[in-house]
Structure 1
């Protein structure tokens, strides 16, 4: 049985003091909300273990890549989810992670961090194409157009996703930058979904404030539950 990663490894925390220790602990606290944090299934940055595993790192970097593109170029458009044909193509990006995850957890074959990261990137890259129109694009409006209008709407985020994944894998981004980006993406992703609870609110500031607070509260509970179950 693989040893579960404790929240803070002493040889990682030894040189950390003050605000850096607090940031490290905070990042790993929220990472525990959604990840098992098995050390040998996680990537390193600046000699420190990231707060989520390689697969989750890929998923949320993939989400960050395509969501950033959609937010910059599609947020003021009336859009809906991709067409059936394009949706099928996108779903093909998700299949490798499903196979890798199923094979790993059923012990059919052994995975590795490179494969976990790569398949996670493909899986996460797809998700915003379906979520973004539902949250921002008036997907049910009869005037709405598919979020993907041309190949650039896939290629540009895919290039960004591949570049970001490569920089992380080859350890070209410092720990605090990449881990903060991952946790920020997790919080935003959960906030987007919790915003569906406040659709009736007119004022955007109140709506998104409540969404973020609810998301942080939910992640906090999940992290505490993680600690309780492993204690």
Structure 2
């Protein structure tokens, strides 16, 4: 798509769709760009536990934008270093699977905006089974998934969820009451 095609696409959207699109892609850019917001080596190993902010000292030393993204990652994701991507000398604020989910949400929502496709239960299940299997097998056995596999299963699950989000936000036509 050219810049003018993107501009036409976005201006044709409703205000609600534009806001949702901006929020989703803005969040993906903040998460994916998190390591670039910091000096190389600023994060160290962020491995921790879900539901705890266990890297407070490291996060407190960050600039305000990075601190918010990394604080949310620390509180909501295990951020185990071996399950997270690292670049620019810094670990990402969320694990590879969460990155896939976020990117999939934005991508699925964007595709649904352009194509307005129907969403079926078999498609939803098909997209969610890989993440369920990968995570469950890893939890219950000595199998260790890979970051590319985590990213891909997250993309699939996030994609179908983003598609569903578009359907939820779309005005319901021809569904009169009474």
TM-score range, shorter chain: 0.5 to 0.7
Equivalent residue, structure 1, for 2:31: none
Equivalent residue, structure 2, for 1:7: 55
- Structure 2 residue aligned with 1:97, among 120, 131, 139? 131
Superposed displacement of residue 140, structure 1: 7.5
Unaligned 5+ runs, structure 1: 143-231
Aligned pair 1:115/2:159, yes or no? Answer: no
- Structure 2 residue aligned with 1:24, among 66, 72, 85? 66
> Closer, same or farther in 2 for the Cα pair 1:104/1:22, shift >3 Å?
same
Q: Give the total of aligned pairs.
A: 125
- Alignment of structure 1 residues 105-184 onto 2, 5 Å: 105-138=139-172, 141=175
Contact 2:100–2:155 (CA under 8 A) maintained in structure 1: yes
- Structure 2 residue aligned with 1:88, among 122, 129, 132? 122
Contact 1:63–1:125 (CA under 8 A) maintained in structure 2: yes
Once residues 48 and 31 of structure 1 are traced to their aligned partners in structure 2, the CA distance between those partners, rounded to angstroms, is 14
Contact 1:7–1:28 (CA under 8 A) maintained in structure 2: no
Once residues 115 and 9 of structure 1 are traced to their aligned partners in structure 2, the CA distance between those partners, rounded to angstroms, is 31
Once residues 123 and 30 of structure 1 are traced to their aligned partners in structure 2, the CA distance between those partners, rounded to angstroms, is 20
Output one character per residue of 1:108-157: Cα deviation in whole Å (capped at 9) or x when no partner: 51212121111111111111222322232317827xxxxxxxxxxxxxxx
Unaligned 5+ runs, structure 2: 1-45, 49-53
Equivalent residue, structure 1, for 2:102: 60
> Closer, same or farther in 2 for the Cα pair 1:70/1:36, shift >3 Å?
same
> Closer, same or farther in 2 for the Cα pair 1:139/1:88, shift >3 Å?
farther
Once residues 123 and 32 of structure 1 are traced to their aligned partners in structure 2, the CA distance between those partners, rounded to angstroms, is 22
Higher relative contact order (CA 8 A, sep 6+): 1
> Closer, same or farther in 2 for the Cα pair 1:139/1:96, shift >3 Å?
farther
Measured on the aligned residues, the alpha-carbon RMSD in Å equals 3.0
Equivalent residue, structure 2, for 1:170: none
Once residues 128 and 113 of structure 1 are traced to their aligned partners in structure 2, the CA distance between those partners, rounded to angstroms, is 21
> Closer, same or farther in 2 for the Cα pair 1:109/1:134, shift >3 Å?
same
Q: What's the TM-score once normalised by structure 1's chain length?
A: 0.46
Once residues 122 and 128 of structure 2 are traced to their aligned partners in structure 1, the CA distance between those partners, rounded to angstroms, is 10
